[in-house]
Amino acid sequence: MKKPWFTIVVVLIVATFLPACSSSTPDCTRLEIVCVGLVTDVGKVDDRSYNQSSWEGVQQAQVEGLVQSAHYIESVDARDYAENIAVFADAGYDVIVTVGVALGQATTVAAEEYPQVYFIGVDQFQEAGAEKPNLTGLVFPEDQAGFLAGALAAQMTVTGKVGAVLGADAYPPTWRYGEGFRAGARYINPEIEVIVAYHNDADFDEASFDPDWGATTAYIMVDEGFDVLFGGSGTTGDGAVVAAAQRGIYVIGAEMDQYFLQSEAAPLLLSSAVKLVKPGTYALIVLARDAQAGTSEFPGGNYTGECSYAPFHDLDSQVPAEVKTRMEDINQGLQENTIKTEVPPTKP
């Protein structure tokens, strides 16, 4: 999909534009050179979260020789998203990875403007009927991630009461987390008491960035005897996880390994229900490279990655061997589809 007549224009922008391995600037318009650019959300590439995991997927492709040149731009303001994407597109890059739901709109617009470029939108769901052949959203089965969290919580509770604190259930991924958690806990113990608290604000931003509500809800659950709590959906879940850990109960994080992100909760963090962003990003780069070579088609629309759970870290010695074995069995069963969460894609 390269354009051999392309003229490279050097653009100076307020962002960090760093090479992966070399200070030389490749000619990305050449057919034999596969170039991948990554645009972070408002955060650093070494954030121990989506940005870092996505970049590691790009780096893996480069180390294996699938990509000849890879660079990233760290966005410093949401208003820079479109311009940062254009830096790579205007330089003839073959693949552009944009990280996080916040870049969704800018990525969609860019995919229309640059049909010769393959776009990978990490955690960016593509609505049915609006798919573009050169844009794939890397999405994940949150119900399976929640199921793993619920199964772990049900095996580690002493009181028989486990809970989840999440954003608004109007947002399908959040609802899948919650209902997956409920299903996982009941898979272990059908009689267990499970409460999933969803934020009552239907606005995604308001519901996902309300740590005070998350903390208050966690305090109520602890006071009512819940002794394992799962928290997710942005800072709302972070607030719940930290608050519950400060009250002395086990907690489980979401999205990425929260052990490296929530130091206050780390001593009581059992695990995290994680999205495997690195292998998903790598897999889509391979597909884009093959499409560039004409040996396959790029899967426009959505590509479903995998979920798993993070290590037990400081609490490893407190997790019984039989729990570890069963968690591995459940994880494998979910991946092989021999265990089903029975959670539909959207709230009925």
Beta bridge pairs of residue 135: 119, 132
Name residue 40's amino acid: T
Alpha carbon distance 45, 220 (integer Å)? 36
Alpha carbon distance 228, 222 (integer Å)? 9
The structure tokens listed for 236 are: 């709302």
Residue 1: the pLDDT is 57
Q: Is 344 left (phi over 0), alpha (psi -120 to 50) or beta?
A: beta
Domains of the chain (ranges, CATH numbers): 16-140+277-304 (3.40.50.2300), 142-274+312-335 (3.40.50.2300)
Residue 26: the pLDDT is 76
The string of pLDDT tens digits covering residues 162-174 is 999 999 999 999 9
Q: What is the DSSP string of 173-218?
A: HHHHHHHHHHHHHHHH-TT-EEEEEE-S--SHHHHHS-HHHHHHHH
Mean pLDDT (the chain, rounded): 92
Helices 104-113 and 81-90 cross at an angle (nearest 10°) of: 30
Q: How far is CA 122 from the centre of its chain?
A: 7
Residue 175 scores a pLDDT above 90 = yes
Alpha carbon distance 111, 120 (integer Å)? 10
The Cβ of residue 332 has, within 10 Å, a number of other Cβ atoms equal to 11
The structure tokens listed for 210 are: 């309300």
- Binned at pLDDT 50, 70 and 90, residue 24 comes out as low
The string of pLDDT tens digits covering residues 252-276 is 999 999 999 999 999 999 999 999 9
Give the pTM: 0.89
Q: What is the DSSP string of 252-265?
A: EEEES-GGGT-TTT
Greatest C-alpha distance within the chain: 68
- Binned at pLDDT 50, 70 and 90, residue 2 comes out as low
Alpha carbon distance 268, 309 (integer Å)? 16
Once rounded to an integer, what is the mean pLDDT over residues 67-79?
Answer: 96
CA dihedral sign of residues 74, 77, 78, 79: negative
Residue 14 scores a pLDDT above 80 = no
Sequence-separated (6 or more) residues with CB below 8 Å from residue 263: none
Residue 118: the pLDDT is 98
In 3D space, the residue among 64, 99, 20, 37 whose CA is nearest the CA of residue 275 turns out to be 99
The string of pLDDT tens digits covering residues 133-159 is 999 999 999 999 999 999 999 999 999
The structure tokens listed for 257 are: 């390994």
The string of pLDDT tens digits covering residues 266-307 is 999 999 999 999 999 999 999 999 999 899 999 999 999 999
Residue 12 scores a pLDDT above 70 = no
The Cβ of residue 11 has, within 10 Å, a number of other Cβ atoms equal to 13
- Binned at pLDDT 50, 70 and 90, residue 203 comes out as confident
